Amino acid sequence: AQSVTQLDSQVPVFEEAPVELRCNYSSSVSVYLFWYVQYPNQGLQLLLKYLSGSTLVESINGFEAEFNKSQTSFHLRKPSVHISDTAEYFCAVRGTGFQKLVFGTGTRLLVSP
Amino acid sequence: DAGVIQSPRHEVTEMGQEVTLRCKPISGHDYLFWYRQTMMRGLELLIYFNNNVPIDDSGMPEDRFSAKMPNASFSTLKIQPSEPRDSAVYFCASRGVNTEAFFGQGTRLTVV
């Protein structure tokens, strides 16, 4: 079975500051890793994913995440956040050969001016 | 493609009533998932289908919940009878063999 831990339930940050949202996972098999973003009253949208290959993956809006197998982590980072990045961010894992996508509890990113 | 379509977006019902949530997955996707989101428990997988066949329903909370997928373009999640603790946002998601999961906008259910 797979599990995901997002230790930070809420991360307040000022606009243009850097941010890191932490994600650790547990799995007995190889994994695929995902970050989803949820804006208020919306569904979840895929932000970025790691399937294989380069351990550093990037999104089109400036977020990046690095897969670290030894630390079983997939932290999400952005060097300079915008007000519009305010949302809830979910880390998710799926074991290779499995179909279930297991989510963490989410981290609410609050960007203030 | 319009994405995963869920209806209704909001549902308010009285305790004891039957509730049916609907989902139209993305055309060509082989997998369909039903999730429930609450403040207390986060995102929970209730059940998923592969090629219209239920594969794992271990997340369905109790017998009051049932899900069907009569064809590749339609699925329902039914709660009968509904209870206040069923109040949550219910998401449907679909996925192809080699794609990530795409989520619908969700149905916000309130049972009073």
Residues A101 and B45: beta-carbon distance below 8 Å:
yes
Tell me which chain B residue has its CA closest to the CA of residue A37.
Answer: B103
Q: Residues 50 to 89 of A: which have CB under 8 A from any B CB?
A: none
Interchain contact, B106 vs A36, CB within 8 Å: no
Express as a percent the part of chain B with pLDDT over 90. Answer: 88
Residue range A31-74, pLDDT digits in tens? 999 999 999 888 999 999 999 888 888 888 899 999 999 999 99
Residues 6+ apart with CB under 8 A from A31: A2, A25, A93, A94, A95, A96
Q: Which of A35, A41, A44 to mutate to test binding with chain B, by most B CBs within 10 Å of its CB?
A: A44
The pLDDT value recorded for residue A97 is 84
Shortest CA gap B72–chain A (Å): 18
Residue range A7-25, pLDDT digits in tens? 999 999 999 999 999 999 9
Above 90 in pLDDT, residue B103?
yes
Shortest CA gap A101–chain B (Å): 8
User: How far is the CA of A69 from the CAs of A31, A48, A89, B34, B97, in angstroms?
Assistant: 10, 17, 21, 30, 24
- Tokens (6 digits) for B91: 């998401």
Above 80 in pLDDT, residue B25?
yes
